[in-house]
Amino acid sequence: MTDLWNERAQAYRESATHAAGDDLDLVVAWCEPGPGVTVLDVATGGGHVARRLREAGAQVVTVDAAPGMEPDVLAPADHLPFADASFDAVACRIAAHHFPDVLAAVKEMARVARYRVVICDNTFTSESAEEGDRLRDPSHVRNYGVPEWHSFFELAGLEVADEAFMVRDTDFEGWLARTETPADVRPRVRELLDSRLRNGRLELPTVVLKGIRAT
């Protein structure tokens, strides 16, 4: 998995879908960045959340499991090497669907956060779409529905203080290219995701949740 991500690092740095969007704006706003505010960006990828938080004055530490993403700290999301309550806020955008143990990761984010955890991810739409996601990218584990996200937050001791739903979209061919999906499986991926394809763009239903520590 890590090797795959090392090879993809540049594509994710340059990805328009990752570099901007209403979801990114909301993740940044809900971290309440500003001078003196500390934020951990988990699974930072191309570093877009961290960049925006730093522009807003926050002190940011990035963590990722892939060395090629050049995070400040190399670690998996379910074993964050930080003391309890180390950061004012913890952010994690468009990455949790890759985590082998998402609940352990949410618990770790809750543990190292002093006040807020902000998580944004694609949501579950159907089992056939999940098959399409896995064919496109073998590192895809699962997208979760909103009730599952609520239960992860609750089990991690986080109260859902705010949530938003949106449909992002991305150029379908660029989406396949980012993960170097083999040409011979692309038609099957297209077939499995057909109901979410419009004019060459793939719709990505997305949730953003803000959790506060329920202490």
Ligand X SMILES: C[S@@+](CC[C@H](N)C(=O)[O-])C[C@H]1O[C@@H](n2cnc3c(N)ncnc32)[C@H](O)[C@@H]1O
Q: Which residues bind ligand X (CB under 6 A)?
A: 5, 12, 18, 43-46, 48-49, 64-66, 69, 76-77, 93-95, 98-99
Tokens of 124: 């579950």
Task: Between 3 and 191, name the residue whose CB sits nearer to ligand X.
Answer: 3
Give CA angle at 208 (202, 211), nearest 5°: 160
Q: Taking the C-alpha atoms of 76, 81, 82 and 87 in order, what is their torsion angle to the nearest 10 degrees? A: -20
Q: How many CB atoms lie within 10 A of CB 168?
A: 18
Task: Between 81 and 159, name the residue whose CB sits nearer to ligand X.
Answer: 81
Q: How many CB atoms lie within 10 A of CB 5?
A: 19
Residue nearest to ligand X (CB): 45
Q: Shortest approach of ligand X to residue 105 CB, angstroms? A: 7
Q: Shortest approach of ligand X to residue 78 CB, angstroms? A: 6
Q: Shortest approach of ligand X to residue 63 CB, angstroms? A: 7
d(CA 103, CA 134): 20
Q: Shortest approach of ligand X to residue 44 CB, angstroms? A: 6
Task: Between 139 and 191, name the residue whose CB sits nearer to ligand X.
Answer: 139
Task: Between 138 and 159, name the residue whose CB sits nearer to ligand X.
Answer: 138
Question: Closest Cα partner for 117 from 107, 127, 125, 126?
Answer: 107
